[in-house]
Structure 1
C-alpha cells in the first residue's frame, strides 16, 4: 500500500504562545507547500523566532495544532525532529574542529554507517565548495564559509524541512548571493525551506510565498507581487516623443500626473497584466504612440511599513 505524502510540509492552525502576560503568538495559521521557500517577515518581537522554536520542537505551544513533514508536533515530536533541520542566525559550528570533522561528527550523531557517513561528508563538502578547506580548522573560515558549513551540517541527516533563521546576517553581498543559490538548489531537490529574515530583499528574491507577522498574527500572506499590489502607489510611467503625443494621451486618460519637462505621464495602476492591457488598448484605439513605458510597483519595504504600523519602528533591514 502506497502512502501519499501530504501536500503541506507545514500546517499550523490556531497556534498560541504567551510568556506571562505577554502574548507572543495569537492564533497563528500557516500553510507551507512542500518543495517551496516560505518566508516569515516581522519586526523584532513579532514572534518569528518563537514560531521557529515551536515548529522545531524546542518550545511547547500553549494551544493550537501543527503538523511538520506530515507528523503531529504534539503527538510525535521525535518524528518531526528526524524530518527537519535547523540553521540559526548564529553558527553551531565547532571552530576547534575542521570542516570535515564537524560534518563527520554530525554523521555520527545521525548514526550513519562509517562508509555512508564518509560518502555523505565528501558529497556535502563538494556541494558547498568546501573541499579545499575541509581539513582546515573552522576558526580559519570566513563568515560565508561558516554559514555554508553550518547548512551542510544540517543536511547530513537529509531533512525534508529546513528552518533557516536569519541565514545571511552579517555576510558580504557575494556570500549572500552564494547562500541564495544554495537555497534555490535545495528547493529544486525537493526540500522545503522555512525562512525568517529581516532583509526584505532576501524574501523578495527567494520566497514563493511570504507571510507578514505583526504582534503574533499574520496580517497578510501571498507572493511578493501579490503583497505589493495591495499597497497604493503603483503606477505606469508613459513617456512620449513630442508634446502632441503627451496632450493626446492626457485627453484619453484624464486625471493623471503630468511632467511637461520629461514629456511623461504617471498613470495609477496596480501593475497587473489586465490593467496594463486595458491602458495600452485605450491608447491603441486612438493611435497614440508611446515612446517608453515602465511599470512601478511598491516594494516589500512599502508593504512591510503599511502592514505593521508602529511595529515597523523596530529594526528591519533592507539593502
Structure 2
C-alpha cells in the first residue's frame, strides 16, 4: 500500500511554521509531503536551520525526490517576510495556500492536509475577515465541522469554537449540539477505529448548573440532546461538571470529551501534553490536522522552535488517511 500523500501548509511566513516544515521533512515522516508555500520562504527557513534545500515543482515531478529535495507548490508572498514581524500584505498568500491545498484535497490529489500556525491578526489587518482555519475550511467544503484537540492523554472536542465568551450561551442550542456530537461520534469510529466510542459531555455552567440554580442550559439544552442520542445507541455521559470531569478516574474508559467552549477544555489538554498536542477538524471530506500552538514570533529565525507538534500532526494525519483508505477499500 502506498504511503499517504499529504499537503503541508506552513502558515504565517514570518513565524516558525516554515522552519518546522523543514524540520519535519528532515525526519523522514510516514507520508509523502508536498509543501504549499513560497520557495524563497522555505529556503530562508532552511538557512536558519543551517541546512541546504533543493526545491522541486510538485506538479511536474513524477515521484518524491530523494535527499534534500522538497516537493513544492509555489504560493508567492506579496512582500519579503521578516522573521518575527507578520506583514498584512502577505495575508492573501497565507489564505491562498490553505485554499489551494483544500481544493487539491477535495479533488483527491492528496490524502489529507497538515497546517502550521497562522497569525489571525495579520490576516484580518490584511483585509480578510478570518476567525480561524477550522472555520475557513468548513466554509470552503460547505460542511459542518467540529474542532478537536488531542494528545497521548486525551481528546477534547468543542461544541463552539472561536466565540467571545458572552456569546457562547446563545450559540449553544440543541441542533448545533446534536450535530457536534454526531460528527464527533462518527469521527471516533471512522477516523480512529473505535467501534463503540464513549463520550463525556461537559455542562456549560459551574457544577453543571447545580440543578438549575447556576443556569438552566444543562436542563433545557444539553440533557435533552443526550437523551435523544442515547436512544440511538450512543454512549454519552453527562452533562458533567467541568472542574472534575478531567480527573484520571473519570477519564478512564472515555474516548473523548466534548467541551462547551474553547477555554473550558483546551487548557487542561494543553497542560497534559502541549508539545504532543494536535488540532483536528472533524467532519471534512479529508483529514486535516494542525499544530496546537501559535506562530512563536519570538523564536522565528532562531532555529530553536520545537517541531514535536508538527511531527505529531503529520503522523496523526497519515494514520487517519490510512484508516479512511482501508475502510474505503473494504466497501
Q: Fold conserved (TM > 0.5)?
A: no
TM band (smaller chain): 0.3 to 0.5
More helix by share: 2
Rg larger for: 1
Q: Which has the higher strand share?
A: 1
TM-score by length of 1: 0.33
**Higher relative contact order by CA 8 Å / sep ≥ 6: 1 or 2?**
2
